[in-house]
Amino acid sequence: MAGTRTITRRRLLQAAGLGLVLGACGRAAPQGGTPQASSGSSQVQLELWTFVNTHARWWRAMAEDYRKKVNPGFQLKVSEIAYQDLFDKLRIAIQSGGVGAPDIADVEQGAFGGFLRGGSPGFVDLTDRLQTEGYMDQLVASREALYSYNGKTYGIEHALCPVVLYYRADVWEAAGVDPTRFSTWEDYILGAKQVARSGVHALPFPAHDVLLRQRGEDYFDQAGKVKLDSPLSVETMEWILALKYQHGIADETPDSDQAWWAAVKEGKFVSVVGADWYAGFLKDNVPELKGKWRAVALPAWEKGGRRTSCSGGTGACILDTSQHVEEAWKFLKHSMLSVEGNVRRYEMTNLYPPFKPAWKSPRLHVKDEYFGGQDLGELFSQLGPDVPPQYQSPFRTELNTKLEASMQAVLRRQRPAADVFRQVANEIRREMSEE
């Protein structure tokens, strides 16, 4: 995270400079001819790239399960690669016709759009497989839309990504404030003023796009038109700035990932807007705060309004240069499209399943000791049906990159949000008109 950036999954994974992977380049012919299907009982080794440690642990566990239950000869090499490095390498591998490419890759939704420019994205079209085998109706359509373009679906989403408010129960209770009673953001601001004091902030700046989606808009609409500079978008950004400059309850995040978690450990930030996956990040990075955190639905913008949003997301994609496409598909069915695989992923990572058949599992509803015995699964399941849509675009990654470069000036009030949003939106519109 940079000094004034808001909390997003990319920030926490130290991802910056996505422009390196956005070039609209052609790609070399695939190496090795047509991908060959492998026998269900044959010796086969696949390689998988991911950028998240929690994903890597789950992938390895599912590979072991697949080896025991489906193919004793199956091996999976899981490479955990830093976010930016992964997508740089993946773009180069695709452009070179598959040289050095993995068989499967975790592709973060914010980076996926960059692969849609310049022809084939380099991933296997899974549409027919998902439809004919009955999986498409079992997946949350709004999440699959992040990995779909022109009627083709190229990835399978890991998580539903409902956004909640995580908070330090001990700190808020000591101040005599109960976040479970908040109905609106106005309620939150009033309560937060009771906990914010010198050196302690109620929260870091929430991510603008997350709150905008809670209000029913996004940076692109369903038709692919840029909405970044809409009146609602600008108003939402000004509201975020007011959390610090008017209400005195928010502040910039520290200038590094390590510094951020040190600040959380020291109690300098006592709530944060985050998705389901953020629960796993808290457990991994501040385990000593076990029992002190809780989660609650987001406050609404108006009474009776939406109490959640969506943030992040990652799709598992099969490279179309893989020599083992069918084995990769079978493995994804076993891990990504099964109740057991989805439930185990939640147990290991707190990623609430976008696979509907898994929602009935009692294993999603357990008392989580880290969160004081709270059943997070119950909260996520209640909010799941109201998770707003998030629209993909070949220009979405580039918009995010351009916006990120100017966001510091907005957060420091060095430039008006309206001017920056208009500039970035118009730059993207010009590029769209030239293609």
Q: What is the pLDDT of residues 242-297, one digit of tens each?
A: 999 999 999 998 888 999 999 999 999 999 999 999 999 999 999 999 999 999 99
Specify the higher pLDDT residue, 6 or 128.
Answer: 128
Contacts of 264 (CB under 8 A, 6+ apart): 272, 282, 285, 286, 289
> Is residue 199 in a domain?
yes
Residues 171, 75 within the same domain: no
Contacts of 17 (CB under 8 A, 6+ apart): 84, 401
Query: pLDDT tier at 397 (50, 70, 90 boundaries)?
Result: confident
Residues 403, 289 within the same domain: yes
pLDDT over 80 at 391, yes or no: yes
Residue 319 structural domain: 13-160+311-386
Residues 364, 397 within the same domain: no
Which of 89, 5, 104, 96 shows the shortest CA–CA distance to 45? 104
> Is residue 244 in a domain?
yes
> Is residue 119 in a domain?
yes
Q: 340-364 b/e with 16+ CB inside 10 Å = b?
A: ebbbbbbbebbbbbbbeebbebeeb
Reading the block at residue 75, the tokens are 């091996």
> Is residue 301 in a domain?
yes
pLDDT over 80 at 7, yes or no: no
- Rounded to a whole number, what is the largest CA-CA distance in the chain? 67
pLDDT over 70 at 376, yes or no: yes
Residues 189, 320 within the same domain: no
Say what the pLDDT of residue 6 is: 57
Say what the pLDDT of residue 400 is: 92
d(CA 52, CA 58): 10
DSSP assignments along 41-110, one per residue: TS-EEEEEEES-HHHHHHHHHHHHHHHHHT-TTEEEEEEE--HHHHHHHHHHHHHTTSTT--SEEEEEHH
Q: How far is CA 176 from the centre of its chain?
A: 33
Residues 324, 268 within the same domain: no
Reading the block at residue 241, the tokens are 């700035």
Q: Can you give the CATH number for the domain in which 91 is found? A: 3.40.190.10
pLDDT over 50 at 341, yes or no: yes
Residues 262, 340 within the same domain: no
Say what the pLDDT of residue 41 is: 61
> Is residue 3 in a domain?
no
Contacts of 366 (CB under 8 A, 6+ apart): 375, 377
Contacts of 190 (CB under 8 A, 6+ apart): none
Residues 115, 25 within the same domain: yes
Say what the pLDDT of residue 33 is: 31
Residues 349, 260 within the same domain: no
pLDDT tens column, 75-85: 999 999 999 99
> Is residue 372 in a domain?
yes
Average pLDDT, the chain: 90
Residues 56, 26 within the same domain: yes
3-state secondary structure of 264: helix
d(CA 370, CA 350): 12
**Helices 339-349/53-69 angle, 10° precision:** 150
Residues 373, 403 within the same domain: no
Pairing of strands 163-168, 293-297: antiparallel
Residues 179, 286 within the same domain: yes
The domain tally of the chain equals: 2
Say what the pLDDT of residue 329 is: 98
Say what the pLDDT of residue 217 is: 96
Residues 56, 75 within the same domain: yes
> Is residue 8 in a domain?
no
The CA-based dihedral angle spanning residues 54, 56, 60, 62, taken in that order and rounded to the nearest 10 degrees: 60
Element containing residue 12 per DSSP (H, E): helix 9-12
